[in-house]
Amino acid sequence: MDPEEFRAAGYRAIDWIADYLGGVDRYPVLARVRPGATRAALSADPPEDGEPFDAVLRDLDETVVPGITHWNHPAFFAYFANTGSGPGILGELFAAAFNTNSMLWKTAPAATELEELVLDWLRKMLGLPAEFRGLVQDTASTASLVAAAAAREAVPGFDVRIRGLQGTPGAPRLRLYLSEQAHSSIEKAAVVLGLGLEGVRKIPVDGEFRMRPDLLARAIAEDREAGWLPFFVTATVGTTSTTSVDPVVPIADVCEREKLWLHVDAAYAGSAAILPEMRGILAGCDRADSLVVNPHKWLFTPVDFSAFFCRDLDVVRRAFSVVPEYLRTREEDEVRNHMDYGVALGRRFRALKFWMVVRHFGIRGIADRLREHIRLARLFADRVDGEPGFVREAPVPFSVVCFRARPDDLAERVSEPAVAAYLDGLNERLMHAVNDTGRAYLSHTKLGGRFVLRLAIGNLRTTEAHVRRAWELLRDHAARIDSETRPDRL
Ligand SMILES: Cc1ncc(COP(=O)(O)O)c(C=O)c1O
């Protein structure tokens, strides 16, 4: 593709994307394809000869787009809704154009330094301590894995880096702690690090889904007694199911007393600390050893961009750095070579997209939009609270509402197994019915064993009208499904 051909195709691609983003709500939010359909509609073999861009665009329109679930749709309310914003998309374009690999400072000085700079911007935006140093990871899952590996490296007298787990016979077994509501990525980290799922202890939560620090302290004492070596605690600010916030201050007290690494998973909700009125959500996080927040969740940055902060990046380097001769450089004593701080050698120029997002919106612009998402979520929660056939299942500290349909005349009998099973089925059917309309997409979780719907607001194009429409769909379908499916005996 010579520069002129690139220019012509590029203008068309940008026009295509601008039209797409401007009219994304004309698509069904959730792809309607059956498993295997996209693949079956495309050539099973690579082309022998190159094809014109037109042919590729045609397949994109006719086959790829129908298989897209539109995360950029204003009625995408599932999981943690997000936005690949215009400035973020342009950042991705430049990153691909430069195609730098920031494994070493020398191979990508600007990418390395811009990464350090934008994470320092984010640190200041969130009010985190000056000692925290940042590093961009692809996902929060990777960031938490890196945190747990560093914490293990910091355990005195446990030289797993050199001796490996097998080479340390008789060593105490390591254990990490998280709440019952923490994200599965922490358990995955335990699996990857060879701690096994037995090396994970889940601490019960209170009535509002927050970790119980007293039970954390008790679990650690019991485990020490039983010969475990506690080393790592994850507190979550904004859990995945309900966005509950663990009490980080008393958890930090336990970690300090017990000399454990405190990691804070603020992947979704950490961004809200940009709002002065929400700063309190990170209370105690200044005492953490590491923290992760995902701009690709709620800061309008296209996937993938996860910000990992650590009080002592030297420990991370000790855990991961292996430098062969061909990666030695003259500057290595003066700079951070980012390959030394994680699993991957090669690294994309991710900082560019976040830099462009922050420069485009400014702190004020970002804060205004987050505030609006929180307002919309409260509005939806008010609708749920005011409707006799629905019930809210968790507090709404941010932009996610957990709720379920619960017909009025069944409310008092929810503990009866037949009623509980009917309500689970009703809510599951309701979710599928609404999602099948293509006009909204919600996801679910289980709380206390019950099937619960989640409505998450995080897309820049979502307006009050979209939220109102989702509510009307839910209300109408709930009434219809209840009248069509309720057994006579209930
Ligand atoms: C609290 C929390 N932590 C971690 C993750 C994992 O994020 P990622 O997809 O960036 O690995 C999620 C994903 O939703 C999450 O909600």
Residues 217-246: pLDDT tens digits? 999 999 999 999 999 999 999 999 999 999
pLDDT for res 239? 98
417-436 helix and 464-485 helix, angle to the nearest 10 degrees: 130
**Torsion sign, CA atoms 279, 282, 283, 286:** negative
Q: Is the CB of 306 under 6 A from ligand 1?
A: yes
pLDDT for res 415? 83
Judged against a pLDDT cut of 90, whether residue 411 lies above it is answered with no
Calculate the average pLDDT of the chain: 96
CA 139 – ligand 1 centroid, Å: 7
CA 144 – ligand 1 centroid, Å: 10
**pLDDT category, 157, cuts 50, 70, 90?**
confident
CB-based burial label for 9 (10 Å; 0-12, 13-18, 19+): middle
Q: Is the CB of 268 under 6 A from ligand 1?
A: yes
268 given a catalytic annotation: no
Pocket mutation for ligand 1, best pick of 294, 304, 343, 445 (most atoms within 8 Å of C-beta): 294
Judged against a pLDDT cut of 80, whether residue 418 lies above it is answered with yes
**pLDDT-wise least confident of 51-60, 155-164, 362-371:** 155-164
Which 3-state string (H, E, C) describes 167-226? CCCCCCEEEEEEECCCCHHHHHHHHHCCCCHHHEEEECECCCCCECHHHHHHHHHHHHHC
**pLDDT category, 285, cuts 50, 70, 90?**
very high
Ligand 1, closest atom to CA 80? 14
Q: Is the CB of 141 under 6 A from ligand 1?
A: yes
pLDDT for res 404? 98
| CA pair distance 46, 44, nearest whole angstrom | 7
Mean pLDDT of 333-339: 96
The answer to whether 234 and 224 are in contact (CB under 8 A) is no
pLDDT for res 314? 96
Residues 6+ apart with CB under 8 A from 447: 209, 241, 242, 393, 394, 402
Judged against a pLDDT cut of 80, whether residue 170 lies above it is answered with no
Ligand 1, closest atom to CA 143? 11
CA distances from 437 to 8, 146, 422, 471 (A): 38, 41, 23, 13
What the block records as the tokens of 313 is 């990046």
pLDDT for res 489? 87
CA distances from 389 to 383, 405, 424, 469 (A): 11, 6, 14, 17
Ligand 1, closest atom to CA 306? 10
pLDDT for res 414? 81
Residues 6+ apart with CB under 8 A from 417: none
Judged against a pLDDT cut of 90, whether residue 162 lies above it is answered with no
pLDDT for res 144? 98
Judged against a pLDDT cut of 90, whether residue 320 lies above it is answered with yes
- Please, which residues bridge with residue 458 across strands? none
Mean pLDDT of 174-181: 98
Judged against a pLDDT cut of 90, whether residue 166 lies above it is answered with no
Amino acid at 127: G
Q: What percent of the chain has pLDDT over 90?
A: 94
What the block records as the tokens of 165 is 């787990």
Which residue blocks in 264-344 are alpha helix, DSSP H?
295-298, 313-320
What the block records as the tokens of 26 is 């004309």
Count the neighbouring beta carbons within 10 Å of the beta carbon of residue 347: 25
pLDDT for res 164? 86
**pLDDT category, 158, cuts 50, 70, 90?**
confident
Judged against a pLDDT cut of 80, whether residue 337 lies above it is answered with yes
Q: Is the CB of 236 under 6 A from ligand 1?
A: yes
pTM of the model: 0.97
| CA pair distance 396, 380, nearest whole angstrom | 10
Q: Is the CB of 462 under 6 A from ligand 1?
A: no
- Indicate which residue of 11, 268, 326, 422 is catalytic: 326
Ligand 1, closest atom to CA 269? 1
Direct distance between the N- and C-terminal alpha carbons of the chain, in angstroms, rounded to an integer: 67
